[in-house]
Structure 1
Amino acid sequence: MDSSQSSSGEINTSLIGRLSEKLKYKNDNFSSKISLTLDDVNILLNELQVYQLELEMQNDELKTSYLTLDRERAKFVGLFDLAPVGYFILDYLGVVEEANQNGIDLLNVARQTVRHQRFQSFISPQSWEDFYNFLHRMQYNDIKQTAEIKLKLAGDQIVYTRMEGRAISSIIVTDVKYYITVIDVTESRNAQQVLKETKERLEMTLKASATGTWTICAETSSVFLDPHSFNIMGIKSWAFNGTIAGLIALIHPDDQQQVNNQLLGAIHGVKDIDLEFRIITADDDFKYIAAKGHEINMQEESSYFAGILTDITERKRLEREAESLKNDQQKLILSATLTAQEKERNIISSALHDSVCQLLYGIKLNLESVERTNYLKGEFKNVNALLDQVIKETRQISYELTPTVLKDFGFVAGIKEMAQRTSTTHFHIDTYIDSTADFLGTDVQLYIFRMIQELINNCIKHAKATKAEIKVRLHRNQVFIRVADNGIGFNSCIEQAGHIGSGLSGIKNRVYLLNGQVKFYKSKQGMVVTITFENTAELSV
């Protein structure tokens, strides 16, 4: 547009100059001559017509240029007013020379109020320094400048804006104009503030509750742990390579398989993760960690797992203590029950031995006296035989209830005496007892005696055995007991046998009080029962 106007001006100057010269030439000739010829007049008219045509053409070009300029101006005015951001033109003092409609709406004032007013009047005092620095940077830099400025409008309304602009200098050096765009970022800033506050509250909550966050991306097999997670797990961030394999490597070897299985299940469709595992810390200790998570689906059809993890070491310790306390209580109840049983057995045994047996002996002596006095022969033979049988069985019951030999002569003699009493022509018992067994605690000896007694009774009553073997051995503070027979064993499984009152429950209870283990298994020769426990001073009896 500027080039066309320049060329038109040059053409006009040329034409005017040429015409002036010709007219001057003609005038000079006219003054030297008295009159013009007809040819001279025709030539002059033709030249004038040519000049007229050239002027009309130049006028048309000027009209076209002005129309184009108006269209371009209207286009840029529309862009200026309809721009999605506020647009302002300020002079070198910061006075508003021009503002678009979006900028006027942002300031919420009338157009005539905005123009010729210092833009600083709309800025919050807290941002004055930032705004002046913004103008200064624009004045002395050719590149676009940016600043975060807070506006204070009518009614104490606060608007947070992001301003971008640059300074344009005219031919006069002091005449600087600032072209500034103003974008309202109040909503995004408030959202960022809410997000920041939420994040701070979450950080405080995670820190107070000793909870960390994690994410797992199945596609890349990557794992993210926040700083709280590293603190909770007791590991250094540089010791973790950020992969699923690296995470599993930090887990206790006994727990790696179940963690790996759950993670594989999550990758192949399981929506939730719920794990408890032990982690090996930097000081070669371990912690119990609980991790819970859920699958999060993204719009791009990708997904990842996110969740929290907590240190449950203390909870596990309390659970173990509670379980130990529960076991101790159960052991106290069992111990009290067995002690009460032994007391009742002692009472019954004493009653049988000191009362019933004595009465039976008295009856037998009286019958023998009657028999001698009346010279009776054979009439009381059967009665005496029955009385002998009753006395024998009563004494046997009394012994089984309270093995006095165990108290009087020790454990080894007690077991051997029991084997001798129980052996018959159809059932033989061999014993192999370490002599050091006599140094076991009194209660421990009684428990072992009762368990062996019950096992031998089972051999006689249920196993249909003809031979049994009892071994008691002490080795390196361990007590080993083995009772074997050549019978048919149990018809039902061991667990069921323990619930039918066969006496096995009593054996298990005593083994439980001794913190030991009992095993039942069949061999080629018959049934074998082994009992092992530590011979310590802290036996729960």
Structure 2
Amino acid sequence: MDKDHSSERENSISLISKLSGKLKYKNEDFSAKTRLTPDDVNVLLNELQVYQLELEMQNDELKASYATLDRERAKFVGLYNLAPVSYFILDYLGIVEEVNQNAVDLLNIPRQTILHKRFQSFISPQSWEDFYNFLHRLQYNDHKQTAEVKLKLIDDQFIYARMEGRAVSSIIVTEVKYYIAIIDITESRNAQQVLKETKDRLEMTLKASATGTWTIGCASNTVFLDTHSFNIMGVSSTSFNGTITGLIELIHPDDQKQVGNQLISAVHGIKDIDLEFRIGDIDNSFRYIAVKGHEIKIPEESGYFAGILTDITERKRLEQEAAILKNDQQKLVLSATLTAQEKERNSISSALHDSVCQLLYGIKLNLESVERSNSLKGEFKNVKQLLDQAIKETRQISYELTPSVLKDFGFVAGIKEMAQRTSTVHFQIDTYIDRTADTLHPDVQLYIFRMIQELVNNCIKHSKASHAEISVCLKNNRVSIRVSDNGTGLSQPHDQENNTGSGLSGIRNRVYLLNGKIKFENSKKGLTVTITFDNTPELSV
């Protein structure tokens, strides 16, 4: 037993010596020769058992941690490899340490070819500087950094990519690793390029065609005008406050109401805008602007109006010139027609006066000669009366066709003589003629005479009037002609507009040639016709 006891004691001393570095009784001079009492051995054994238990527990915890770490790592690897974004892990030199499957598919080369290779080798030389700046920013910033680079693939193909990354420092080692995500933006980049090219072409088109673009947000009362629009309208962006009211204030006052009503109508139902308005220029001239647009609807948002704006000043000028030219041509044709009529009247008047009247006089003289030679009394009385009536009416027709007094004694005498000839016991005409009317151009005098003549004839034929008044007044180089009667007037208010008779038509044609206006006033007292025009040098036909 002593031998067994001695052997156990030696084993205990040996175990104690091996673990002496971990015991509280550790001593540099401790050795197997140290004499320990049985109590000391028991204490040491108890402490060793406690340490053993603690080590076993720590070992179990470590195994559990490793198992958890393996599970999390498996999850991370699965997520990492199956992620729809390309992931790269680079060391501080930019060498690829890890890559996921999406990145392999993106570069379209084997994984082993990518690993342990500088990432720079996959970047186009044109993007090297951007890549190195990206790494530099990662190294000296804690937050995420982004950059756009051009990656080169096999067969000399390229793609555009956006890089997003962050630098991560390890707790155990001091080396920095770069965690980078790469997104293929080739389609987006190409779409942006197409959009830019389209925008550039649109800009050139708008500039070449003098066209601008605009938008109006009715709900927000805002108006956007592009640079071309400001140039076309001839206003500066600083003078425009960007509101609908501000836009209307830029428009000519005579057009503001029309534009405002159109915009209100567009907001409340009419979905298209089609406007033409004027804007004052710095030289007191006008710019004519055409605006076209329609409503743009956005689901679950308030809509807005958008369209184009063009300068139509030149078109308006050409239209005005064309209208003036057409007007001049119409006047020229009408003047030529009236001149031809006057010539024809002169011809007929001369034929009646110089031929027909002379023949009638000759017939009357021959009858008188027959009466004297045959001592006839009263047999040709009725014939002579008819001859006198024919001679009188022929002379009257000749006068109406060509009033010789107008040429011989002037306009004032011609009107008064016409009134005297036309007046009867049952129809009296008073005249109030400005003496300066004789200074009017002969063609203008003739036009006025013909218009008064036709109006007086209408009084006699249609109005059942017993009195008429003719006045011609010249004041401030403006001619005013007024013919009134106490007859029945016009049967309907619009007769003066709708009447297609040759008489009123002739009056309107002459008023048109004189650039004048005609006004019909129908009342219980009768009808008053007023004609006004400016006596300008251009009125010589």
What TM-score, normalized by structure 2, do the two folds share? 0.90
How far off is 1:191 after superposition?
1.3
Map of 2:188 onto structure 1: 188
Quick one: structure 1 residues 245 and 535, their matched pair in 2 at CA, closer, same or farther if it must change by over 3 Å? same
Q: 1:377, 1:513 → 2: CA distance?
A: 58
Map of 1:4 onto structure 2: none
Map of 2:405 onto structure 1: 405
How far off is 1:47 after superposition?
6.7
1:521, 1:528 within 8 Å by CA — same for their partners in 2?
Answer: yes
Q: 2:20, 2:153 → 1: CA distance?
A: 61
Give a deviation string over 1:281-318, Cα, whole Å, max 9, x none.
Answer: 35544311111111001122320000111111111111
SS in 1 for 2:538: coil
**Pairing 1:474-493 to 2, within 5 Å after superposition:** 474-493=474-493
Deviates more, 1:477-486 or 1:73-82: 73-82
Map of 1:146 onto structure 2: 146
Quick one: structure 1 residues 78 and 270, their matched pair in 2 at CA, closer, same or farther if it must change by over 3 Å? same
2:443, 2:540 within 8 Å by CA — same for their partners in 1?
Answer: no
Map of 1:7 onto structure 2: none
SS in 1 for 2:329: helix
Quick one: structure 1 residues 175 and 424, their matched pair in 2 at CA, closer, same or farther if it must change by over 3 Å? same
Q: How many residues align?
A: 523
Q: 2:166, 2:259 → 1: CA distance?
A: 59
- Give the alignment's Cα RMSD to 1 decimal: 2.7
How far off is 1:177 after superposition?
3.1
**For residue 186 of structure 1, what is the amino acid of its counterpart?**
T
Map of 1:469 onto structure 2: 469
**For residue 157 of structure 2, what is the amino acid of its counterpart?**
Q
1:91, 1:178 within 8 Å by CA — same for their partners in 2?
Answer: yes
Map of 2:236 onto structure 1: 236
Map of 2:441 onto structure 1: 441
Q: 2:131, 2:108 → 1: CA distance?
A: 20
Q: 1:14, 1:395 → 2: CA distance?
A: 164
Map of 1:318 onto structure 2: 318
Q: 2:44, 2:255 → 1: CA distance?
A: 115
**Pairing 1:38-437 to 2, within 5 Å after superposition:** 53-168=53-168, 175-437=175-437
Q: 2:190, 2:346 → 1: CA distance?
A: 85
Give a deviation string over 1:435-473, Cα, whole Å, max 9, x none.
Answer: 111111111111001001001111111111111111111
How far off is 1:319 after superposition?
1.2
Q: 2:383, 2:337 → 1: CA distance?
A: 40
Identity over aligned pairs, percent? 76
How far off is 1:492 after superposition?
3.5
**For residue 227 of structure 1, what is the amino acid of its counterpart?**
T
Quick one: structure 1 residues 40 and 439, their matched pair in 2 at CA, closer, same or farther if it must change by over 3 Å? closer
**For residue 453 of structure 2, what is the amino acid of its counterpart?**
Q
1:163, 1:182 within 8 Å by CA — same for their partners in 2?
Answer: yes
What TM-score, normalized by structure 1, do the two folds share? 0.90
Q: 1:73, 1:450 → 2: CA distance?
A: 113
1:494, 1:520 within 8 Å by CA — same for their partners in 2?
Answer: no
Q: 1:471, 1:45 → 2: CA distance?
A: 150
**Pairing 1:512-523 to 2, within 5 Å after superposition:** 512-523=512-523
SS in 1 for 2:180: strand
Quick one: structure 1 residues 482 and 195, their matched pair in 2 at CA, closer, same or farther if it must change by over 3 Å? same
Q: 2:470, 2:139 → 1: CA distance?
A: 107
Give a deviation string over 1:31-78, Cα, whole Å, max 9, x none.
Answer: 789xx8xx9998887777655544433332222121112122223223
Quick one: structure 1 residues 463 and 369, their matched pair in 2 at CA, closer, same or farther if it must change by over 3 Å? same
Map of 2:6 onto structure 1: none
How far off is 1:322 after superposition?
1.1
Quick one: structure 1 residues 462 and 171, their matched pair in 2 at CA, closer, same or farther if it must change by over 3 Å? closer
Quick one: structure 1 residues 25 and 138, their matched pair in 2 at CA, closer, same or farther if it must change by over 3 Å? closer
Map of 2:508 onto structure 1: 508
Quick one: structure 1 residues 525 and 53, their matched pair in 2 at CA, closer, same or farther if it must change by over 3 Å? closer
**For residue 66 of structure 1, what is the amino acid of its counterpart?**
Y
Q: 2:285, 2:209 → 1: CA distance?
A: 22
How far off is 1:14 after superposition?
8.6
Q: Structure 2: any 5+ residue segments left out of the alignment?
A: 1-17
SS in 2 for 1:329: helix
Q: 2:368, 2:25 → 1: CA distance?
A: 187
Give a deviation string over 1:179-221, Cα, whole Å, max 9, x none.
Answer: 3222211111111111111111111111111111111111111
Quick one: structure 1 residues 133 and 111, their matched pair in 2 at CA, closer, same or farther if it must change by over 3 Å? same
Q: 1:59, 1:196 → 2: CA distance?
A: 65
Quick one: structure 1 residues 18 and 401, their matched pair in 2 at CA, closer, same or farther if it must change by over 3 Å? same
**For residue 432 of structure 1, what is the amino acid of its counterpart?**
Y
SS in 1 for 2:470: strand
Q: 1:460, 1:246 → 2: CA distance?
A: 61
Quick one: structure 1 residues 466 and 171, their matched pair in 2 at CA, closer, same or farther if it must change by over 3 Å? closer
2:20, 2:26 within 8 Å by CA — same for their partners in 1?
Answer: no
Quick one: structure 1 residues 14 and 274, their matched pair in 2 at CA, closer, same or farther if it must change by over 3 Å? farther
SS in 1 for 2:525: coil
Q: 1:249, 1:441 → 2: CA distance?
A: 47
SS in 1 for 2:220: coil
Q: 2:25, 2:42 → 1: CA distance?
A: 17
Q: 2:133, 2:298 → 1: CA distance?
A: 43
SS in 1 for 2:192: helix
Quick one: structure 1 residues 301 and 323, their matched pair in 2 at CA, closer, same or farther if it must change by over 3 Å? same
Q: 2:36, 2:193 → 1: CA distance?
A: 95
Q: 1:346, 1:484 → 2: CA distance?
A: 29
**For residue 479 of structure 1, what is the amino acid of its counterpart?**
V
